[in-house]
């Protein structure tokens, strides 16, 4: 389960994405 390639690994959404995808 990985976020879309269009979504940057860093930024304001990074923390949210990590929580949504269970990545720490």
pLDDT digits (tens, 9 = 90+) for 1-24: 666 666 666 777 777 878 887 765
Give me the pLDDT at residue 22, please.
74
Give me the pLDDT at residue 23, please.
60
**3/18 Cα distance (integer angstroms):** 9
Give me the pLDDT at residue 15, please.
79
Give me the pLDDT at residue 21, please.
78
Give me the pLDDT at residue 18, please.
80
Q: Output the pTM of the full model.
A: 0.31
**19/1 Cα distance (integer angstroms):** 12
């Amino acid at each position: 389960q990985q976020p879309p390639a269009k979504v940057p690994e860093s930024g304001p959404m990074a923390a949210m994405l990590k929580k949504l995808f269970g990545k720490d």
